[in-house]
Amino acid sequence: MGHFHHMGMSMGMSSGDDNSTMAPSHHHPTSSASHSHDHMMMMMPMTFYFGFKNVELLFSGLVINTAGEMAGAFVAVFLLAMFYEGLKIAREGLLRKSQVSIRYNSMPVPGPNGTILMETHKTVGQQMLSFPHLLQTVLHIIQVVISYFLMLIFMTYNGYLCIAVAAGAGMGYFLFSWKKAVVVDITEHCH
Amino acid sequence: MAMHFIFSDEVVLLFDFWSVHSPAGMALSVLVILLLAVLYEGIKVGKARLLHQALMSLSISTSQQLIEETDQNSSSSDPTPVSRTHLRWFLCHFGQSLLHVAQVVIGYFVMLAVMSYNTWIFFGVVLGSGVGYYLAYPLLSMT
């Protein structure tokens, strides 16, 4: 708990080192609903800021203190966001490839003139204990964890890290969805 | 940071300059957040429609190219239609990527607004998502 207090105090000292255009009093909340918890309000920033001093990232040992470390964190977060987009598209592709079991159900339904028409239902599914489904489940768990990590990174309200998340997502979507769109064009032409 | 929903007329949302003190300011902020949530739903539908339109126009243009090429068998092969299609596809995909970045950023902004734990803002987000879905999703199947 003392660490968070230290972070709140050191944020006041780091605001002078930023080369941002934000007002230096950003770490003092001007309006707070509960004035009795003032020191707790400094634990987590609630507005966007640009800085690289004493930035805690996800885990307790991961603290950014220098510009070099922030650059490394930027690259790592960028790659993580790119990987997340690629994972999403890889899962879609795997799902499409593994959906080979197609069941046709035909049932008679009454037609307009009293004739009997056959209505055919096509269901596409997977077996539960098959390898593709287990692989999808493992990839789903990884995707959920990474999506929560990206959310927590964005929640640090650090401007550099948030830009890394957004740029990584855009670049990942651009690179991976390009190939997917071409594949979709070919395979989903004739339905 | 209070870890429960509170009804309050005071909140600081996302940026330093966005600090709300009065009921009028809160109403305006709720409206802005509502429009942001509507925009988020709209972008989701817009991306899907853009992709569909791009695929339709590209498949039409490629089939036209095939027709032209079979008509002019012995005439000089014209490489420009192929590169024009590639350029169009590249621009289309680049536009979709920008739209995706906008969707990610707006999604995170709405999440951070909910994280302020202000109940009015939360109502604005929920209402905005509902209104956005209601307005946008019929446009998805209108192809």
On whether the pTM is more than 0.90, the answer is no
Which residue in chain A is spatially nearest to B50 when comparing CA positions? A181
Is B20 in Cβ contact with A40 (below 8 Å)?
no
User: Do B110 and B33 meet the contact criterion of CB atoms below 8 Å apart?
Assistant: yes
Which residue in chain B is spatially nearest to A82 when comparing CA positions? B101
Which residue in chain A is spatially nearest to B116 when comparing CA positions? A46
Helix %, strand %, coil % of chain A (to 5): 55, 15, 30
3-state secondary structure chain B: CCCCCECCCCEECCCCCCEECCHHHHHHHHHHHHHHHHHHHHHHHHHHHHHHHHHHHHHHHHHHHHHHHHHCCCCCCCCHHHHHHHHHHHHHHHHHHHHHHHHHHHHHHHHHHHHCCEHHHHHHHHHHHHHHHHHHHHHHCCC
Chain B residues 102-121 with CB within 8 Å of chain A: 104-105, 108, 111-112, 115-116
Of B1, B108, B111, the CB nearest to A41: B1
Chain B residues 46-105 with CB within 8 Å of chain A: 51, 54-55, 58-59, 93-94, 96-98, 100-101, 104-105
CA angle, residues A4, A7, A11, in degrees to nearest 5: 150
Q: How confident is the model at residue B92 (pLDDT cuts 50, 70, 90)?
A: confident
pLDDT at A28: 44
**ipTM greater than 0.95:** no
- Termini Cα distance of chain B: 47
Of A37, A47, A169, the CB nearest to B15: A47
Which residue in chain B is spatially nearest to A186 when comparing CA positions? B59
Task: Return mean pLDDT, chain A.
Answer: 75
Q: Evaluate if residue A1 carries a pLDDT over 50.
A: no
Q: pLDDT digits over B24-52, tens only?
A: 999 999 999 999 999 999 999 998 888 88
Nearest CA distance, A128 vs chain B (angstrom): 30
Of A33, A41, A189, the CB nearest to B10: A33
